[in-house]
Amino acid sequence: MENNKHFIYVLECADGSYYTGYSTDVNKRVLTHNAGKGAKYTRSRLPVTCIYEKAFASKREALQEEYAFKRLSRREKEQFLKSKGRQG
C-alpha cells in the first residue's frame, strides 16, 4: 500500500457538465484546471468548481472508482452527488 493519498474528484463546469478526474492534490489540480491548463474538456467550460472528492489508499483503488463513476449516466451521477451532499 502506498503512503500518499489518492483522490478522485468531480468538477462542475460553468456549463453545468461534470468532469471526473484523479489526483494526489485536488486543490492544486482544480487551480490548474481553472488556469486553463487542465484537461482539454474543462478548458472551454471554465470556471470549474470541485463538488466532490474522495480519498483512497492506493492509486489503483482511486482509478477504479473514477472509471466506475464515469460509466454512470448523468442521472445516476446526480443522484450519487445528491446523496453525498455534493461536498468538495
- Phi, psi at 35, each rounded to 5°: -85, 0
Domain that holds residue 24: 6-83
Residue of 38, 31, 34, 28 lying closest to 7 (CA atoms)? 28
Answer whether residue 80 shows pLDDT above 60.
yes
Q: Is the pTM of this model over 0.85?
A: yes
pLDDT digits (tens, 9 = 90+) for 49-67: 999 999 999 999 999 999 9
Asked if the model's pLDDT at residue 86 lies above 80, the reply is no
For 86, left (φ over 0), alpha (ψ -120 to 50), or beta? left
Residue 59 inside a domain? The answer is yes
CATH code (residue 13): 3.40.1440.10
Look at residue 47 and tell me if it is in a domain.
yes
> Domain for residue 88, yes or no?
no
- Residue 1 falls inside a structural domain: no
CA gap 14, 74 in Å, rounded: 16
SS3 42: helix
Q: Is residue 74 part of a domain?
A: yes
Count the domains in the chain: 1
